[in-house]
């Protein structure tokens, strides 16, 4: 995984290269969340699974227009499919055309829109992009409602939408996005992951099997985070069998002072611990599927995660499998 940092924004990405910029990446599961800082109002754009119409694949997109639409991308254009008329139509274009205004109803009423030839920088409280496509709108018959301006960043998507409403103007900025391999964090957040050095082990392979467990707490856009530990013990790890029973707990064999301790985390905190793959009574773990749970020993256990491991009989075990990150059980940032 590659971490890119420019100004105050962070993108976590597997390095990818696009042949042409996508201003609204249409991969199933993509989603963008926006917030108006003044009112706190939020809206979200989501891309669904593709469906076939007349030989083309269209994704159902919700939240982007006034109602759900089926869209596909081709070059700088977005094409929609009208199910009632059984035809394709040009939904939107990101190609600047000097002096031309194109028609749209994306905001819920007839408007004109015009992609600008000159890109502009985009900046928000915790984000900055040097190049953003600027799309201007004008109203034909909208009464106190409609889109006024949008900014798009190539391969990220829509990052700002300014609208007019009966209650007054509002500006929605991107606060979180998942677009293909990219994850964008536009406001303070934290994530917690549990990573194992392998996901398959062989039972009864001579010496006691041990597993390395890594606990990783990552902060985004937060200067520092104070962690308050319930004792000198910073974390704990336990193993559950397929029935959900706790068969091993790392702290059973450890003694810690009970005084409350604090630690200031800036950016990232990593804890690593080797544990034996055995039952509480000392016997090796029998073949089966297990869940390794780990958490930081804060009073409310805000940061916890889990990962799976398989113990195979010697005749079943093959080469060790590469470690894999598993999504955290829960995560949040405490102020």
Average pLDDT over residues 202-227: 76
Rounded distance between C-alpha atoms, residue 195 and residue 189, angstroms: 20
Q: Indicate whether 16 belongs to any domain.
A: yes
Domain identity same for 193 and 120: no
pLDDT of residue 184: 77
Domain identity same for 156 and 216: no
Confidence grade of residue 217 (pLDDT, cut at 50, 70, 90): confident
Query: What is the end-to-end Cα distance of the chain in Å, rounded?
Result: 28
Rounded distance between C-alpha atoms, residue 85 and residue 53, angstroms: 12
Dihedral of CA atoms 295, 299, 303, 308 in degrees, nearest 10, equals 30
Domain identity same for 205 and 171: no
Residue ending a domain, among 185, 216, 249, is 185
pLDDT of residue 148: 94
Confidence grade of residue 62 (pLDDT, cut at 50, 70, 90): very high
Confidence grade of residue 80 (pLDDT, cut at 50, 70, 90): very high
Domain identity same for 170 and 193: no
Q: CB–CB of 95/76 below 8 Å?
A: yes
Confidence grade of residue 84 (pLDDT, cut at 50, 70, 90): confident
Q: CB–CB of 237/273 below 8 Å?
A: yes
Average pLDDT over residues 18-27: 81
Domain identity same for 179 and 201: no
Strands 120-124 and 210-220: unpaired
Number of domains in the chain: 2
Domain identity same for 176 and 214: no
Q: Indicate whether 319 belongs to any domain.
A: no
pLDDT of 92 higher than 70: yes
Domain identity same for 82 and 164: yes
Residue ending a domain, among 185, 220, 249, is 185
Residue ending a domain, among 131, 151, 185, is 185
Q: Indicate whether 327 belongs to any domain.
A: no
Q: Can you count the helices (H) and strands (E) in the chain?
A: 0, 26
**Per this entry, what is the length of the chain?**
335
Q: CB–CB of 171/36 below 8 Å?
A: yes
Expressed as residue numbers, the domain containing 23 is: 2-185
Instruction: Share the mean pLDDT of the chain.
Output: 81
Strands 31-36 and 42-53: antiparallel
Q: Indicate whether 207 belongs to any domain.
A: yes
Confidence grade of residue 295 (pLDDT, cut at 50, 70, 90): very high
Per-residue pLDDT reduced to its tens digit, 150-160: 999 999 999 99
What CATH number should be reported for the domain holding residue 278? 2.60.40.2360
pLDDT of 14 higher than 60: no
Domain identity same for 180 and 193: no
Domain identity same for 232 and 276: yes
Higher pLDDT, 64 or 107: 64
Per-residue pLDDT reduced to its tens digit, 270-284: 999 999 999 988 899
Domain identity same for 117 and 255: no
Domain identity same for 214 and 174: no
What CATH number should be reported for the domain holding residue 25? 2.40.360
Q: Indicate whether 330 belongs to any domain.
A: no
Higher pLDDT, 21 or 245: 245
Q: Indicate whether 60 belongs to any domain.
A: yes
Q: Indicate whether 154 belongs to any domain.
A: yes
pLDDT of 13 higher than 50: no
Rounded distance between C-alpha atoms, residue 106 and residue 196, angstroms: 46
Domain identity same for 58 and 121: yes
pLDDT of 249 higher than 60: yes
Q: Indicate whether 320 belongs to any domain.
A: no
Q: Look up the pTM and report it.
A: 0.58
């Amino acid at each position: 995984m590659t971490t890119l940092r420019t100004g105050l924004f962070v993108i976590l990405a597997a390095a990818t290269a696009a042949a042409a910029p996508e201003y609204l990446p249409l991969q199933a599961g993509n989603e963008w969340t926006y917030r108006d800082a003044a009112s706190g109002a939020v809206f979200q754009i989501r891309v669904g699974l593709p469906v076939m119409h007349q030989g083309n694949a269209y994704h159902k997109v919700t939240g982007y227009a006034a109602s759900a639409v089926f869209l596909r991308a081709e070059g700088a254009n977005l094409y929609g499919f009208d199910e009632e008329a059984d035809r394709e139509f040009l939904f939107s274009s990101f190609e600047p055309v000097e002096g031309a205004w194109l028609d749209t109803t994306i905001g819920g009423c007839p408007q004109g829109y015009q992609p600008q030839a000159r890109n502009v920088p985009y900046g928000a409280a915790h984000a900055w992009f040097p190049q953003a496509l600027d799309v201007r709108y004008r109203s034909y018959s909208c009464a106190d409602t409609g889109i006024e301006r949008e900014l798009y960043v190539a391969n990220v998507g829509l990052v700002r939408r300014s609208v007019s409403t009966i209650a007054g103007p509002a500006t929605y900025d991107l606060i979180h996005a998942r677009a293909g391999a990219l994850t964008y964090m536009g406001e303070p957040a934290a994530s917690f992951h549990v990573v194992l050095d392998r996901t398959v082990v062989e039972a009864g392979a001579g010496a006691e099997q041990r597993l390395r467990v890594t606990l990783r707490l990552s902060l985004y856009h937060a200067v520092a985070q104070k962690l308050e530990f319930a004792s000198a013990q910073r974390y704990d790890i336990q193993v559950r069998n397929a029935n959900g029973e706790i068969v091993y707990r790392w702290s059973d064999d450890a003694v810690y002072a009970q005084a409350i301790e604090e630690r200031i985390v800036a950016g990232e905190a990593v804890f690593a611990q080797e544990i034996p793959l055995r039952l509480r009574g000392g016997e090796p773990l029998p073949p089966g599927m297990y869940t390794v749970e780990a958490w930081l020993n804060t009073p409310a256990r805000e940061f916890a995660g889990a990962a799976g491991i398989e113990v195979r009989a010697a005749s079943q075990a093959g080469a060790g499998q590469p470690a894999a990150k598993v999504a955290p059980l829960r995560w949040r940032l405490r102020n």
